[in-house]
Amino acid sequence: MKNILICLLLASASSLAVAADAPSVNGKWQVRMTIGTYQTVQVCTLNQTGTDLSVRCAGGMGGGTFTGKVHGRKISWALSSNSTGNSMNQIYQAELVSPTRFEGTVTIVPLGAAGDLSGIFCPDSTDDKACRALK
């Protein structure tokens, strides 16, 4: 019986450690994308509910509302669009490197374009212009 209790305590502790390693991504983020010589910086609002993610961005490449997932420190979102009969998928994959920063890649299918993706968390009081200027 004592061994069972110890196993349960260890399992509970490891579950708490995993939860502590996965901070919420809710809030406003500066999202920077670079594909070749093209670079854009926009402000996106991320809303996480469990492992589900909703991302709303204004302007720039990838403006619109995206859906995605959060798995531990890994976050991903995508948008499918159809412009003038041409289907295009924007796929964003990143990993939190700290509670306030993420790094990853952006891929545009079927163009085969790919590049770097990074994000910086903007404090609640930060307006969009100040958020875009964060380094």
pLDDT in tens, 61-110: 556 788 999 999 999 999 887 767 777 888 999 999 999 999 999 998 88
Counting the structural domains of the chain, the total is 1
Asked whether residue 12 is assigned to any structural domain, the reply reads no
Asked whether residue 116 is assigned to any structural domain, the reply reads yes
Residues 44 and 121 sit within 8 Å (Cβ to Cβ): no
The CATH number covering residue 34 comes to: 2.40.128.120
d(CA 27, CA 59) in angstroms, rounded, equals 18
**Per-residue pLDDT tens digits for 37-55:** 989 898 999 999 999 999 9
Residues 39 and 47 sit within 8 Å (Cβ to Cβ): no
d(CA 25, CA 47) in angstroms, rounded, equals 7
Q: Which residue, 18, 6, 128, 7, is CA-closest to 73? A: 18
Residue 123 pLDDT greater than 80, yes or no: yes
Domain holding 93, by residue range, is: 23-133
> Which pTM was predicted?
0.75
